[in-house]
Structure 1
């Protein structure tokens, strides 16, 4: 047991600390003496009594990187109760560090001068190691140790913004390995891994310290090249082609050659999103693959693509003008109860008007808004407009649609949190819809977003379920409140047995997990009745109302 100055009347507290695996202490800041209760040896050493009976010895045990933050806690003002909670590392007698979680309180005199500290510590090394491992798995490829696709997309997004702001030329590189399936068939998984690792090493050696590499798919690597002009890009491509042509990977007694294709894109130029850059790199890679083995191509837009781009720029200007001139509005479509057929809430669909007051088709401006990054501005407008309507009408319930960019936009989430602060009843009347495709881009990010907005009191709906590749198992991990069945399963429901089976299975899982279901694209009463029989909770479609610009039309 550790050092103790506690009398026998505290025996129960001592036993409780031991049972919980906690250690309590009191640090008299005037005398600098520290008293301990509990298994103190677990904090500092494997056996024997630790020599940590004063503040000086205790401070000497704290990891240097954590020391400043830990000592700063002594300055917590009395007005805040003097309470604190923190985690830091303590050096044990074997020189290893253990992570501890500490919760305590600082007692100060009338002048705010700290007098003593009382706290409870618990070893959390195992949890911190698991968190670090999970964080690594979330951000890095397990085989190569390079960034995964989501994190490389983040790096590409940052480079794009930096390039636009400071007019710095950047480039993105996509390297695809050919023939891995044949290698797997002939030699097995380990040989494929050896080729992938070898390719990663070739790319890494060719890059500069300011560049960023990631593995974006089983047979693909990506690299963000900072401050890289066309001459620098051409030089890098030449070196990579030469290395992939010359170098070999040895697997057992076999010498394996590389078959690679390389696509590159320069930006910012006329691109506006990281996804667009990755798409262009894929196009260039396909061009390289058509040329033969170990070839490289830089993306060059065709004249037709340039023409389409000019038209898209005109639409982007329309969007900006609509946002500036208050020409953005909602169209509302009712979502009705399958039992009462009365509206339960309304889905809001963002619309814009041109200079003449005519509506611009959603199919025209939404893809452009997504490509040029203007979808964030539209989503911010949608949030503000929906909140205003909910404040004006306490009976109203609305859902708003969110883009992929907004799901990862902390400033949008901060705005949502500020709108809802102290207004839980409003939060309960607001639903946020994200499509299945958006959810699957990064399941971990989506799950975090869903959990965060649900903590604020909002509901979350997974839209267009069934249109992508989300499995029912992955659906369980998202903990959404509503799942909207894609219209492809609803149209001709009575004629397609597979659609009925899909709906039944989803309803069965909804009953098990506890989410509600909405069927989209309901256009006939026969379909509505069949969906209600299967247990679908809500219905949406032209049979119950087309999107309208007002709620009372």
Structure 2
């Protein structure tokens, strides 16, 4: 049961231990000198990073930089040649041993300032002589002193760079305040650029960007200024623009871009844009504030089913949500740092004997005031804010510590989809089991049904890897998604947990009774044991037992919250 709303063992060989230790030592060395390795498959665009890459870049995992396109989007556009440019324009040829390249640029890493790196490696050619594979190393370096005269404008579009745009915008806002006049900014996002990259290649995507800039210039007024804001975004400073003129200018830009297909080396490609606008200095007193607000407007335009232009307007509810999210982020991070993230152990019992078989570890957060926050108040927001992986790793530490402390214990652990997709998740799991390999057979990892079907291939790989460690895997909240019989059979779970939303009203809903009984019959046909979640009363427990449900879980059987101390979790008396 994923009460995030509110559990078999192999022993590694000595050689495996040595390999794991060597890899760990290598990561420590690379991290200490600010370096990480990578391999880039240019055909599939996938990048395999060294295990220390998240720590180097300040990300919780490598999902943000798992492809060449994703990584390129994080490169500050005015900071230097990207890896793609350095490889494709190196002027070198692969003589069978690869061709060298080197470039320096800034990466928008984590929440901190841009990280300047030197990217060095060799690319290897395919049969046509063009680069298909890159091996390299990224090393953190001091920010170089750039020759602004040489950098001048954006190479691809001939427009201002983002830094030049910010400087020019700040000057215009100050002048508009003094002269008591207005101006506008249109932030223009090119739609579907990732699909164009995928279908036609990066060169075609670059030609679409350059073509879009050209068409915008053709319909801009005299005195307006164009900038390359980021990879797929252009910005226009609209001089002397009032509130009434901004939508007119935006529609002019939209019409110009989509007037006809964009000519490229891959053939004509249709292009379209969404636009966010802002009136200044009314809604932005500084360039930074204006850029933040106009990005919000563009995001709203992208989410709109009917509008391709949205003008920024203050929204008290949005601002309140942001403030709440910031407070919540601070609270979660402080709780993790202060070791105030603990767990509640909820028993799973045999339907007939009511004997406890194992416990599910449910996340709980102790607030600064000592009050207990249930998972239903923590996990959904943590997932939205990108903090759930940190919670998952903390829960893994707690569960492993409990299994080590209590040799008779068996526990289950929930894993979010964001964590499951981390390339190093199973590696982290294996690393924690190395110190006590006997605990793997006493551990069950729970994956929600919706998580399982998001990426079936990735789920299957993760399940196979965990099985290799002799960890059992359960499908949680079964019935909430749309897993087909074939998917359920192919994924080969060890345990099926029926979604409590259908169980809690079993005594009152004929539809829920029919649905749950169908799920139980399906599980029995597959030969997979079942757990019914959210069992709250004896009547429901008897109904489920009569249908052949193997195990029961819920409020009827209670739970125990593990206490915490400033030094960390107190692993107390055995609960099994």
Structure possessing the higher relative contact order (Cα contacts under 8 Å, 6 or more residues apart): 2
Q: How many Å apart are 1:258 and its aligned residue? A: 8.0
Partner Cα distance (2:533, 2:273) in 1: 42
Q: How many Å apart are 1:297 and its aligned residue? A: 4.7
TM-score, structure 2 length as denominator? 0.52
Aligned to 2:230: 228
Aligned to 2:488: 475
Q: Secondary structure at the match of 1:378?
A: helix
Is contact 1:522-1:528 (8 Å) kept? yes
Aligned to 1:367: 380
Q: Deviations over 1:444-470 (max 9, x none)?
A: 211211111121111111111122232
Aligned to 1:290: 306
Q: How many Å apart are 1:203 and its aligned residue? A: 6.4
After superposition, the CA RMSD in angstroms is: 4.7
Q: Mapping of 1:29-428 within 5 angstroms? A: 154-155=66-67, 158=71, 159=73, 162=109, 164-167=111-114, 175=191, 205-207=207-209, 228=230, 232-233=234-235, 241-242=254-255, 245-247=258-260, 262=274, 283-287=300-304, 289-291=305-307, 295-297=308-310, 302-421=315-434, 423-428=436-441
Would the alpha carbon gap of residues 314 and 389 (structure 1) be closer, same or farther in structure 2, given more than 3 Å must change? Answer: same
Q: How many Å apart are 1:339 and its aligned residue? A: 1.8
How many residues align? The count is: 358
Partner Cα distance (2:409, 2:188) in 1: 47
Partner Cα distance (2:415, 2:423) in 1: 13
Q: Secondary structure at the match of 2:230?
A: coil
Is contact 1:424-1:457 (8 Å) kept? no
Q: How many Å apart are 1:499 and its aligned residue? A: 2.7
Partner Cα distance (1:230, 1:482) in 2: 45
Is contact 1:510-1:516 (8 Å) kept? yes
Would the alpha carbon gap of residues 344 and 172 (structure 1) be closer, same or farther in structure 2, given more than 3 Å must change? Answer: farther
Partner Cα distance (1:511, 1:309) in 2: 47
Q: How many Å apart are 1:301 and its aligned residue? A: 7.5
For structure 1, the residue ranges without an aligned partner over 5 or more in a row are 1-79, 81-131, 140-149, 177-195, 210-225, 250-256, 271-277
TM-score, structure 1 length as denominator? 0.54
The higher radius of gyration belongs to: 1
For structure 2, the residue ranges without an aligned partner over 5 or more in a row are 1-14, 16-40, 48-61, 75-107, 116-161, 164-186, 193-197, 212-227, 238-249, 263-268, 278-287, 290-294, 564-573
Is contact 2:476-2:499 (8 Å) kept? yes
Partner Cα distance (1:350, 1:511) in 2: 30
Q: How many Å apart are 1:492 and its aligned residue? A: 2.3
Aligned to 1:503: 516
Q: Deviations over 1:312-360 (max 9, x none)?
A: 2112111111111221211111111112112111111111212222223
Q: How many Å apart are 1:539 and its aligned residue? A: 0.9
Partner Cα distance (2:384, 2:231) in 1: 24
Would the alpha carbon gap of residues 231 and 426 (structure 1) be closer, same or farther in structure 2, given more than 3 Å must change? Answer: closer
Q: Deviations over 1:474-510 (max 9, x none)?
A: 2222222112111121122244343333333323332
Q: How many Å apart are 1:232 and its aligned residue? A: 2.6
